[in-house]
Structure 1
Amino acid sequence: MIVEIVILAMIAAFLGMRLYSVLGRRAEHEEEIIPTNRFERGDEQSQPRQVAQPNVESPQTERTLAGFPPAVERGLREISTADRNFELLGFLEGAKGAYEVVLEAFWRGDKEELKELCDDDVYESFAAVIDEREEAGIRMDNRLIRVEDVTVYSAELDGKIARIAVRFVSDIASVSYDKDDNVVAGSLDDAVESRDIWTFSRDIRSDDPQWLLDETDQG
């Protein structure tokens, strides 16, 4: 029994490294980080929900774009000019909601919900880790305790494709179980700070207001 637990713990550690490889780490993100908004939620786990999407132009857009590093401000202004429905604070709230929903869908292995919120490459990466986890008989019971900070990290308009990278600082409690519900790694009593940079994209020519997650990094 002890040998089996050790083996399962090694498998859980391997899957943790696979998730890290999915999230990645990019050295080229060197923009100065300026906090734009801060969100918190209680300890109670939220239910999956529709991600909020901005659909009206805010008269405060000009004011909310001030104070960013020049490259970020320029990108946001280009997006705002090309898409008159873009509203920064609404986007950030939607991005925070997407972060919560995608993490929770990944932890419970809900590929259908992930496919709706991610582009093909990101979805395939998440799905591959879910498959490996299921084959190893590992079940995750992670909890997003709170999102401490939500920050615009970079922004650009590439032709008609708007891309905004958002940096999330959150506290996550993580635990893994084997097929017999024995704990093989982690604890729900200890939350660990996580720093993620997720990039969302949208074709501004589309009538669909949905932003898709098209890249994930840690940093």
Structure 2
Amino acid sequence: MIAAFLGYKLYSVLGRRAEHEEEMLGRQVPRPQPRNPQALPGGERGGAAGEQPQSALERALSGVPLGAQRGVREIATADRNFTPALFLEGARGAYGMILEAFWKGDRETLNELCDDDVYASFAAAIDAREDAGESVQNRLIRIEEAEIVSAEYDAPMARITVRFAADIAAMTTDRDGNMIAGSLDDAVESHDIWTFSRRVNAARPDWLLDETGEG
């Protein structure tokens, strides 16, 4: 995981737009609000006058892989403010915010956007990096792709897994500022699979990153 992160509050992090990130998109998996990484999915559900909500949902599902449609439909039924498009917009914002926080060693932001286990992994990696006297100067160049690959609803918990493809420029330096790995001149394509979760009956629509992987 550390290698992947070297190579994302949800305002709903997945709710508000991050003003300092080019690629950060906000409400639904964005803009950071303390211990409320967002509410990834957050937007309002709408449609043409007289249109049935179910009809709008079926149309929204057209871009979701067949294997994830049942879970997305169940989550949308339990949370009427949820839509796949807004969720992905927020997820992209959260992805950038969490990566930046990890690179900067910003434990407070990570604690707000991640569940306890993921936060502990990030914090341990930051501690190891600092103990070694190393620092990273990574930059998220662009998010090429973000797509839902699976979704499940086990009342009241909703979980959605997203695959990200992004270009990242990464460089690691030692305590004296000497480059020991990477280069900011060349971006490397990174592939990550992150899972976000939230209780749909929670007072705030906050989604947390609860699992990370590569793929």
- Which TM-score band applies after superposition, normalised by the shorter structure? 0.7 to 0.9
Q: Which has the larger radius of gyration?
A: 1
Indicate yes or no: 2:200 matched with 1:204.
Answer: yes
Structure 1: gaps spanning 5 or more residues: 1-17, 24-42
Query: What per-residue deviation string (whole Å, max 9, x for no partner) do you get for residues 29-86 of structure 1?
Result: xxxxxxxxxxxxxx9687x943565142233432110253433111100111111111
Secondary structure of the structure 2 residue equivalent to 1:208: coil
| Aligned positions of 1:18-29 closer than 5 A | 19-20=2-3
The structure-2 alpha-carbon separation of the partners of 1:202 and 1:191, relative to structure 1 and needing over 3 Å to count, comes to same
Alignment: residue pair count:
183
Indicate yes or no: 2:69 matched with 1:104.
Answer: no
Q: TM-score, normalised by structure 1?
A: 0.77
| Equivalence for 1:193 | 189
Which AA in structure 2 matches 1:218?
Answer: E
Q: Percent identity?
A: 56
Residue 22 of structure 1, CA deviation:
8.9
The structure-2 alpha-carbon separation of the partners of 1:105 and 1:93, relative to structure 1 and needing over 3 Å to count, comes to same
Indicate yes or no: 2:81 matched with 1:85.
Answer: yes
The structure-2 alpha-carbon separation of the partners of 1:143 and 1:123, relative to structure 1 and needing over 3 Å to count, comes to same
Q: Quote the Cα distance in structure 1 between the aligned partners of 2:81 and 2:143.
A: 26
Residue 180 of structure 1, CA deviation:
1.1
Residue 160 of structure 1, CA deviation:
1.0
Q: How large is the Cα RMSD of the aligned pairs?
A: 2.4
Which AA in structure 1 matches 2:212?
Answer: T
Indicate yes or no: 2:46 matched with 1:58.
Answer: yes
Which AA in structure 2 matches 1:104?
Answer: E
| Aligned positions of 1:31-180 closer than 5 A | 49-50=31-32, 53-59=41-47, 60-180=56-176
Q: TM-score, normalised by structure 2?
A: 0.78
Moved more, 139-148 or 56-65: 56-65
